[in-house]
């Protein structure tokens, strides 16, 4: 078996965007691949058949969105600089022909009634010559650049008449959208509310032309809204108990206002992190009387469904992840990852699940992807999830270096799934250790609530996890343990090096170092920091500073590598620069790598060559401090 290497990124194939035909017979999806020579990603349209097997349908194009016009005709979009081109492909003969163009960049597409399309599009900001003008917050968005003055809106397009008409407000940001016959339900954050915290819920009826507001904009954060069995259903949270990351409840949209049907205290969508994905997937799929959706539970994500009365059923109980779903005529398909494999397309039913594709069969038949060791341990009366990958060719008589990985969020989760970076580290001879400390998703609201206490019980959980892993595996060399993390994980790495000297080296990626600067520079800063840290710079500067790793940087002794996208607008590059400057000022070995043209998603969807460069930078840093040359003095602190 071959070891897993960084360049295997160019061998793996990643499915996304599954979509069942209206009759439920055919499942179209995208197969995404990183191309080494072109240094970009290619997406081909594939078709999975009900009984298994899949084939390429359209190759050599750049599809973004898929939409079935009928059970034999599939429409797909391709974005240009300022507009979207639509083409259709026939299942009967495979012929591709252009159809029409949208005057703006299309970001969503749905059938509305028998003859119309509902289109979500980006309305660009007014152009200025040689100047960037900011007049609102947020003024930029990660992956989109400067967005001040930019809007997203809905339109109805009638292909036969080639007629466009706008739907609802044009001064906002469209959130979730669903259609039921001639009716469309959607959420929108109005720009009149400059902080854009809550969304309004609206319904448009194509037959009557009426667009009405069902829920005012100052009440809910909306995850999904739509119709089940002629009853309007809302999946949302009012954030009153647990703030921005509170799990949503199901509501019925009655005439007197939303009525709570059920509160299952579950993390919505798939929050189990992995770098072995590319492309987007729908997290919700309405079919007749059921809404199918994904929930994160105990380090895995599962498929569930809820009826219009709020009754919920959990349909899968398998270790792994369900990344995206589609449903039609009682059939459900989706992208899912199982065991040591990356994701494939599956069909789900009451009798179980069936894998429909074998996109990476040859790769996993010839490469040594190790299973994830899982266990639980107790800290302070709370049970915590823990995971590990053992070094390749593990010998119980030997000693090995180890790397502790910390996920982002903090409301994300690790689980027993294939993670390319971790498998590469394991192949390089490291124990790879990871856990779900308090703040993680999958354990309910109370477990994930660390507001105003960043760096307290979450930090203690991670230190207790390391202690437990060291006791479990005496083969880990206590003098050769490193720590890595990104986003919130980067915050925690920055926090750790200012609070302990037990790690031989650290890697801090897309990190947070200063809650005060983060408040004013991040695309979510003023909402996220005020909520999660419980303060603003004007009402309690001390509270923000006390939760800032920069406040403790003068204590740091750990050699630290900082990795950051130069166009990261979630955690601005100044966060890494501040921490790097502090460490260098105090004489700590450190290195900052800014990746030009990359944003917060560098490790997951960055330019292929930059993703490889990033991983090689990390491996070189770890090797330097955790695998010293024979006879070379290792300047680390024992645990």
Whether 34 maps to a domain, the answer reads no
Distance CA 86, CA 105 (A): 11
362-375 confidence digits (pLDDT tens): 999 999 999 999 99
Whether 525 maps to a domain, the answer reads yes
Q: Could you tell me how many helices (H) and strands (E) the chain has, helices first?
A: 11, 38
Distance CA 249, CA 258 (A): 11
The pLDDT, as a whole number, for residue 128 is: 85
The pLDDT, as a whole number, for residue 428 is: 97
Angle (CA) 365 367 371, round 5°: 90
Evaluate whether 144 touches 237 at the Cβ level (below 8 Å).
no
Domain count, the chain: 1
397-456 confidence digits (pLDDT tens): 999 999 999 999 999 999 999 999 999 999 999 999 999 999 999 999 999 999 999 999
Evaluate whether 324 touches 283 at the Cβ level (below 8 Å).
yes
For residue 289 the two structure tokens come to 């009387």
Q: What is the mean pLDDT of the chain?
A: 94
Coil, strand or helix at 468: helix
Angle (CA) 129 135 141, round 5°: 90
The pLDDT, as a whole number, for residue 639 is: 35
188-199 confidence digits (pLDDT tens): 998 754 565 689
Whether 450 maps to a domain, the answer reads yes
496-533 confidence digits (pLDDT tens): 999 999 999 999 999 999 999 999 999 999 999 999 99
Coil, strand or helix at 622: helix
Pairing of strands 96-102, 84-90: antiparallel
The pLDDT, as a whole number, for residue 53 is: 83
Which range marks the domain in which residue 573 is found?
Answer: 370-626
Classify the C-alpha dihedral 479-485-488-490 as positive or negative: positive
Q: Give the contacts of 35 (CB within 8 A, at least 6 positions apart).
A: 10, 41, 42, 608
Whether 537 maps to a domain, the answer reads yes
Q: What is the mean pLDDT of residues 571-593?
A: 98
Q: Residues in the chain, how many?
A: 639
Whether 477 maps to a domain, the answer reads yes
DSSP state of 272: B
pLDDT band at 111 (very low <50, low <70, confident <90, very high): very high
Distance CA 591, CA 576 (A): 10
Pairing of strands 231-237, 249-254: antiparallel
Whether 291 maps to a domain, the answer reads no
Q: Which alpha helices (H) appear in 474-597, and where do they start and end?
A: 488-497, 515-521, 525-532, 541-546, 573-585
Distance CA 14, CA 612 (A): 17
Nearest to residue 190, comparing CAs of 226, 218, 159, 148?
218
The pLDDT, as a whole number, for residue 637 is: 36
Q: Cis before residue 475, ω within 30 degrees of 0?
A: no
119-130 confidence digits (pLDDT tens): 999 999 988 888
- Give whole-number Cα distances, 458 to 248, 437, 461, 485, 493, in Å: 23, 5, 5, 14, 12
Evaluate whether 373 touches 387 at the Cβ level (below 8 Å).
yes
Confidence check: pLDDT of 563 > 50: yes
**DSSP letters for 70-105:** ETTEEEEEEE-SS-EEEEEEETTT--EEEEEEESSE
Pairing of strands 320-328, 331-338: antiparallel
Whether 173 maps to a domain, the answer reads no
148-181 confidence digits (pLDDT tens): 999 999 999 999 888 999 999 998 999 999 999 9
Q: What is the mean pLDDT of residues 269-290?
A: 96
Evaluate whether 72 touches 52 at the Cβ level (below 8 Å).
no
The pLDDT, as a whole number, for residue 50 is: 73
Whether 538 maps to a domain, the answer reads yes
Q: Give the contacts of 55 (CB within 8 A, at least 6 positions apart).
A: 46, 47
pLDDT band at 49 (very low <50, low <70, confident <90, very high): confident
Distance CA 396, CA 271 (A): 34
For residue 191 the two structure tokens come to 């720009």
Helix axes 608-626, 420-427, angle to 10 degrees: 40
Distance CA 599, CA 148 (A): 18
For residue 582 the two structure tokens come to 């502090």
CATH of the domain at 581: 3.40.50.1820
The pLDDT, as a whole number, for residue 197 is: 66
Nearest to residue 613, comparing CAs of 625, 598, 629?
598
- In the sheet with 344-349, reading across from the earlier edge strand, the strands are 320-328, 331-338, 344-349, 352-355
68-80 confidence digits (pLDDT tens): 999 999 999 999 9
């Amino acid at each position: 078996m071959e070891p897993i290497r960084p360049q295997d990124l160019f061998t793996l194939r990643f499915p996304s965007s599954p979509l069942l035909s209206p009759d439920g017979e055919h499942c179209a999806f995208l197969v995404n691949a990183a191309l080494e020579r072109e240094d970009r990603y290619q997406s081909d349209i594939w078709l999975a058949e009900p009984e298994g097997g899949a084939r390429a349908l359209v190759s050599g194009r750049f599809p973004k969105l898929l939409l079935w016009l009928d059970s034999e005709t599939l429409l797909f979009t391709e974005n240009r600089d300022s507009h979207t081109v639509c083409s259709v492909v026939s299942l009967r003969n495979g012929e591709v022909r252009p159809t029409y163009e949208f005057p703006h960049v299309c970001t969503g597409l749905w059938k509305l009634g028998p003859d119309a399309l509902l289109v979500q599009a980006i309305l660009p900001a007014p152009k200025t010559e040689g100047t960037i003008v900011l007049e609102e917050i947020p003024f930029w968005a990660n992956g989109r650049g400067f967005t001040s003055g930019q809007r997203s809106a809905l339109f109805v397009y009638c292909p036969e008449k080639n007629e466009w008409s706008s739907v609802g407000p044009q001064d906002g940001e469209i959130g979730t959208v669903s259609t039921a016959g001639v009716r469309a339900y959607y959420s929108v954050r109005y720009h009149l509310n400059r902080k854009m915290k809550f969304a309004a819920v609206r319904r448009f009826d194509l037959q009557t032309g009426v667009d009405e507001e069902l829920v005012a904009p100052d009440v809910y954060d909306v995850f999904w809204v739509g119709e089940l069995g002629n009853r309007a259903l809302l999946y949302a949270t009012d954030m009153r108990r647990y703030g921005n990351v509170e799990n949503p409840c199901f509501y019925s949209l009655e005439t007197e206002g939303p009525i709570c049907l059920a509160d299952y205290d579950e993390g919505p969508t798939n929050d189990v992190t992995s770098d072995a994905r590319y492309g987007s997937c729908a997290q919700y799929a309405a079919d007749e009387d059921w809404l199918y959706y994904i929930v994160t539970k105990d380090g895995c994500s599962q498929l569930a469904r809820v009826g219009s009365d709020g009754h919920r059923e959990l349909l899968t109980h398998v270790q792994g992840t369900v990344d995206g779903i589609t449903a039609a005529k009682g059939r459900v398909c989706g992208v899912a990852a199982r065991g040591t494999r990356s994701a494939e397309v599956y069909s789900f039913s009451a009798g179980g699940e069936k894998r429909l594709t074998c996109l990476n069969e040859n790769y996993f038949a010839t490469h040594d992807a190790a299973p994830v060791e899982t266990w639980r341990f107790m800290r302070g009366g709370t049970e915590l999830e823990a995971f590990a990958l053992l070094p390749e060719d593990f010998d119980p008589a030997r000693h090995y270096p180890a790397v502790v990985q910390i996920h982002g969020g903090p409301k994300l989760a690790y689980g027993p799934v294939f993670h390319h970076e971790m498998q590469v580290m394991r192949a390089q001879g490291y124990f790879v250790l990871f856990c779900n400390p308090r703040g993680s998703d999958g354990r309910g609201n109370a477990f994930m609530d660390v507001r105003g206490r960043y760096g307290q019980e979450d930090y203690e959980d991670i230190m207790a996890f390391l202690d437990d892993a060291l006791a479990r595996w005496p083969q880990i060399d206590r003098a050769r343990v490193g720590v890595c993390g990104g986003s919130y994980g980067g915050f925690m790495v920055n926090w750790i090096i200012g609070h302990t000297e037990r790690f031989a080296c650290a890697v801090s990626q897309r990190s947070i170092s200063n809650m005060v600067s983060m408040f004013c520079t991040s695309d979510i800063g003023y909402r996220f920091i005020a909520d999660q840290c419980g303060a603003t710079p004007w009402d309690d500067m001390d509270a923000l500073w006390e939760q800032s790793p920069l406040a403790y940087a003068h204590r740091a002794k750990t050699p630290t590598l900082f990795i950051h996208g130069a166009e990261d607008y979630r955690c601005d590059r100044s966060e890494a620069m501040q921490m790097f400057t502090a460490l260098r000022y105090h004489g700590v070995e450190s290195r900052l790598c800014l990746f030009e043209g990359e944003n917060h998603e560098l490790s997951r969807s960055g330019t292929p060559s930059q993703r490889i460069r990033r991983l090689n930078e990390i491996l070189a840093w770890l090797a330097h401090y955790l695998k010293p040359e024979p006879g070379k003095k290792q300047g680390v602190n024992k645990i």
